[in-house]
Structure 1
Amino acid sequence: MLTPRQGFPALLTLCLTLCAALLAPTTALAAPRTAVRNPVVFVHGYNADPGVWGSLREDLRADGYADAQLFSWGYDTHRSVNEVLAGQLGAYVDQVRRQTGAAKVDIVGHSFGSLVSRWYVKYGGGTAAVAHWVSLGGPNHGTSTAWACALWDQACRDMTPGSYVVKNLAAGDETPGAVAYATFWSDCDEVVNPDDSVPLAGAVNVAVGCLKHNDLLGDDATSAGVRAFLAS
């Protein structure tokens, strides 16, 4: 039997133990949850390189992305979309997923990169590996300016209106699978002609106003729209 001197410390210890047990679940429930972000794979356009993504990468880092979540794919922009480039992009996406442990990635493409990444998503198994797909000024239904280099360049031929690539990407569902699609297009685009070649049926299509083709890469409002879409 405990004496009064012994009983008080024992009772105090019991009370503290019970209080800790009762408070623990409340503390756990109140703890903030960390948002889960997919790695982002950037796909640049014709005659460009991964360096074009500097501004958007900085904005994503400011939003909390780590460098280890941002990947800029570099490739030979004079090769065939369907025969070469889409398969190479698929292999790169698989590498990113293995490296990060992510089930899916988000893809942001500019210009010609939109066709390469769309072919991968639609015909290369990308619907199972891509969560969000974004096109900045992509010639999704072809551009007449590509005729200027189509005679000697396969990528230019792929971008011409009515090409094998353009026709097959437009066939059936333009935005297949459970992927979320968005396009951002300008009514002053000097490269994509006509301007409304960019929007896709089934996508979130955002008109950004009067911007030059490459200005889409550094425009603050466009960046904000892309980041909001990736977070949706």
Structure 2
Amino acid sequence: MRQAMWTAAAVVAGVLCAPGAAQAQPTGNPVLIVHGWTAGGAFPLAPNWADALRTALENDGHPVYVVDLPGELNIPNAQAISQTAQRAAAEHDGAKVDVIGHSMGGLSSRWFLKFLGGTETTAHYVSIGTGQYGWAPTCILPATLGGEMCPASPFLTALDHGDDTPGDVSYTTLRTLADDSSGSHTATDDRPLQGHSCIDTGIDGGPHADEPSNPVVIAAVLEALHDHCPGQVVDEPITR
């Protein structure tokens, strides 16, 4: 499986670098790309942060929507995702959407699925480098600067109660070597979602901030959207 993903990554890199590569006519689900934590703008997004992923998705036949999030509070962010999903569905004959969340964007996306009716309108959920059960360094921050990622925050307590993979949605979580090698990494960081999902860890995806533009990560995303788990399918018991 890992060799196949490296081959796919080489194909992705070739497509992205090929001059004048033809964009496929939209044939796949609309895809929403959701960015991660910016600490209230202290860590601003690079202007081209989503370009490589967008290009690969468009070349694969997907209309792409990059979601403009209002801030660091995940519930308003989830509402923005919901609004974008409704617009994407309306512009594409009621099609279901696929949602890709990077870093904290994966948490906002899960709230959209679990509490805002997103499971009815979503086919695939893919997280990239998301600390699904929190990231301890953020516990010193106020909620408005990312403190909701604290494992004990009311937001995560609510999000992680019960089934983490509700509805008829394909769930995939991707984590890179950078995600799992930091000094603040704990054993729970790469734990699968409770429920039925695909998990792929140890991806050589470069620095955390660059994951959405990394060809190996993009190849794994495309695998997931084509209903092929790039890692391991797991069924984790629901214990909370």
Task: Note the C-alpha offset of 1:220.
Answer: 1.4
Instruction: Say whether the 8 Å CA contact 1:145–1:191 is kept in structure 2.
Output: no
Task: Note the C-alpha offset of 1:115.
Answer: 0.9
Task: Note the C-alpha offset of 1:203.
Answer: 1.6
**Structure with the bigger percentage of helix:** 1
Q: Where does the alignment leave 5 or more consecutive residues of structure 1 unmatched?
A: 1-33
Q: Where does the alignment leave 5 or more consecutive residues of structure 2 unmatched?
A: 1-24, 39-43, 228-240
Separation in structure 2 between the aligned mates of residue 208 and residue 56 of structure 1, nearest angstrom:
20
1:142 partnered with 2:134: yes
Task: Note the C-alpha offset of 1:131.
Answer: 0.4
**Could you say if the C-alpha distance between residues 164 and 191 of structure 1 is closer, same or farther in structure 2, counting changes exceeding 3 Å?**
farther
Instruction: Say whether the 8 Å CA contact 1:185–1:196 is kept in structure 2.
Output: no
Match of 1:170 in 2: 160
Match of 1:55 in 2: 52
Match of 2:198 in 1: 204
**Could you say if the C-alpha distance between residues 191 and 182 of structure 1 is closer, same or farther in structure 2, counting changes exceeding 3 Å?**
farther
Task: Note the C-alpha offset of 1:146.
Answer: 1.2
Task: Note the C-alpha offset of 1:192.
Answer: 7.0
Deviations 1:27-54 (A, max 9, x none): xxxxxxx994100000001115574111
C-alpha RMSD of matched pairs (Å): 2.3
- Identity across matched positions, percent: 29
Letter in 1 for 2:213: G
Separation in structure 1 between the aligned mates of residue 226 and residue 104 of structure 2, nearest angstrom:
24
Separation in structure 1 between the aligned mates of residue 197 and residue 169 of structure 2, nearest angstrom:
10
Separation in structure 2 between the aligned mates of residue 75 and residue 109 of structure 1, nearest angstrom:
12
Q: How does 1:120-159 map to 2 (within 5 A)?
A: 120-148=112-140, 150-151=141-142, 153-159=143-149
Structure showing greater radius of gyration is: 1
Match of 1:188 in 2: 178
1:85 partnered with 2:77: yes
Separation in structure 2 between the aligned mates of residue 115 and residue 182 of structure 1, nearest angstrom:
13
1:102 partnered with 2:99: no
Of 103-112 and 153-162, more deviation after overlay is shown by 153-162
Scaled by the length of structure 1, the TM-score of the pair is: 0.75
Scaled by the length of structure 2, the TM-score of the pair is: 0.72
Deviations 1:81-124 (A, max 9, x none): 23x22122212211111122233100000011111110010001
Query: How many residue pairs end up in the alignment?
Result: 192
